[in-house]
Structure 1
Amino acid sequence: MDKITLGPMPYMSVMPAVLVGANVKGKANYMTAAWATVACMAPPMVCVALNKARYTAKGIEENKTFSLNVASVKHVVETDHCGLVSGAQEDKSKVFQSFYGKLKTAPLAAECPVNIECRLFKEVDCGSHQLYIGEVVEIHADKACLTDGKPDVAKIHPIVYSQATYFDIGKPVEKAFSAGKKYTKK
C-alpha cells in the first residue's frame, strides 16, 4: 500500500446530515450539522458537536433540550438552507413544520422521517466546538419508514455528508455481525 500523511483533521468518510432543533427565545430553530453520532446504548444517548458561535447552541443552553432530525434526501435543499443561514439573522421556524413531544421545548421537524428528542445530559468543551450529549427521551418515526417496527434506512433515504457533498444511501453490501463469520485466517 502506498500511503501518504494528510495531517491531523477531524475526518470521517461519511456522516449523517441532521437538523439540530432547539427553541431559541421561545421560537423553533433548526441548523444543519454532520457531526452527530450515537454516544451510549444504555441509557440511550446521542451527541452532536456545534461551533460555539452557533445560534442554535443558545437554545440548547437555554432549555437543556434539543432534537436531532434525520432529514430525507427529498428535503436536501431545505436542510442545506438551514446550515447556510443563521437563526440570528433569519427566522427559520417556518422552513419545517414543528411539533413537540414529551419535552415540550425541543422542536421536531415533521417532514423528517425520524426525530430524536433529547434532554441535555452533558456538554463538553472541545475547543472550537461544544459537544452536546443528549439522553434520548423519545424517537418519533413515520410509519412509512419502518420495517418490523424499526427505522429502515432504505425507506428513510437519509442525507449523508462527505467532503462538502451530500449523498443518498446505496445498496446493502452485507449483514453486520454476520459477514465476519465468513472470514478465514491467513
Structure 2
Amino acid sequence: MKEQIGALNALYPSLTTLVGAVVNGRENFIAVAHVGILKHSKNPYLTIALAKVHHTNKGIHDHQAFSVCVPSQKMVEITDYCGLVSGKNTDKSQLFDVFYGETSFAPMIKQCPVCMECTVHDVVDLKSHDIFIGEVKRTHVDPAVLDGKDIDITKVQPLLFDMASKKYFSLGEPVADCWSVGKALKKKD
C-alpha cells in the first residue's frame, strides 16, 4: 500500500536551465527548473513557469522573446547564483559572454553548451505564476557536445534539480533504448 502525502508535485528531478531576457535595456538571466516540452518535432514549443515576482517576467512580456540555455555541471555555482539574486537588485548581464541569434531580446550564454532562442506564443496567467509558452526559433549547440547532428546529453552534462532534497544532480547511466526495450512485451499481445 502506498502512503498518501497530499497534493505534491512529484515530477522531479527536472532540467536546470538559465532563462535570458532583456529587462529595462539590460540582459538578465534566471535559473529555472520548471520547464517543459510541449512539442518536440518541427516548430518545437516549450514552457517555462516563473513566479510573477521575478524581474525576468517583465522583459519577456515587454519584448515577447526569451532564451533557454542548458548549463553544464561545471557551471553549477554561477547557475545557482542566478537563482539566488534578483536582476532588480543585481546586474547579471556581465556574468557571462552573451550572444544573440536572429531573435532580438533573447540573450544567450556562450558558456552553456545548448541555447534556444524563443518567441512567446502564449502566456498562461495563473494567480502566482506566468507560464510562458515559447516557440523555439533556433537552437545553438557547442560542436563539442554533438554526436553527428544530435545532442549527446552525456557530453552536455546537464544539472538536474530536485525540490525535495534542494540539490543538483548529474545524469546516471543509460538504462535501455527508448521505443525498443518494450517490444518484447508487444510480441506477447
User: TM class, shorter-chain normalised?
Assistant: over 0.9
Report the alpha carbon displacement of residue 36 of structure 1 after superposing the two structures with TM: 0.3
Report the alpha carbon displacement of residue 116 of structure 1 after superposing the two structures with TM: 0.8
* Paired residues for 1:1-186 under 5 Å: 2-41=1-40, 42-163=42-163, 164-183=166-185
Structure 1: segments with no counterpart, 5+ residues: none
Q: Aligned partners of 2:151, 2:96: CA distance in 1, in Å?
A: 21
Q: Aligned partners of 2:122, 2:181: CA distance in 1, in Å?
A: 36
> Is the 2:20–2:27 Cα contact (8 Å) retained in structure 1?
yes
Report the alpha carbon displacement of residue 179 of structure 1 after superposing the two structures with TM: 1.1
Q: Aligned partners of 1:127, 1:182: CA distance in 2, in Å?
A: 46
Query: Matched residue pairs, number?
Result: 185
Report the alpha carbon displacement of residue 26 of structure 1 after superposing the two structures with TM: 1.4
Q: Aligned partners of 1:9, 1:117: CA distance in 2, in Å?
A: 32
> Is the 2:113–2:142 Cα contact (8 Å) retained in structure 1?
yes
Instruction: Indicate the SS of the match to 1:11.
Output: coil
Q: Aligned partners of 2:54, 2:12: CA distance in 1, in Å?
A: 24
Structure 2: segments with no counterpart, 5+ residues: none
Q: Aligned partners of 1:174, 1:156: CA distance in 2, in Å?
A: 19
Report the alpha carbon displacement of residue 127 of structure 1 after superposing the two structures with TM: 2.5
> Is the 2:43–2:137 Cα contact (8 Å) retained in structure 1?
no
Report the alpha carbon displacement of residue 153 of structure 1 after superposing the two structures with TM: 0.4
Report the alpha carbon displacement of residue 128 of structure 1 after superposing the two structures with TM: 1.4
Over the aligned positions, Cα root-mean-square deviation in angstroms equals 1.3
Q: What is the percent sequence identity of the aligned residues?
A: 38
Q: TM-score, normalised by structure 1?
A: 0.95
The amino acid that maps onto 2:25 is: G
Q: TM-score, normalised by structure 2?
A: 0.94
Report the alpha carbon displacement of residue 13 of structure 1 after superposing the two structures with TM: 2.4
User: After TM superposition, where is structure 1 displaced by more than 6 Å over at least 4 residues in a row?
Assistant: none
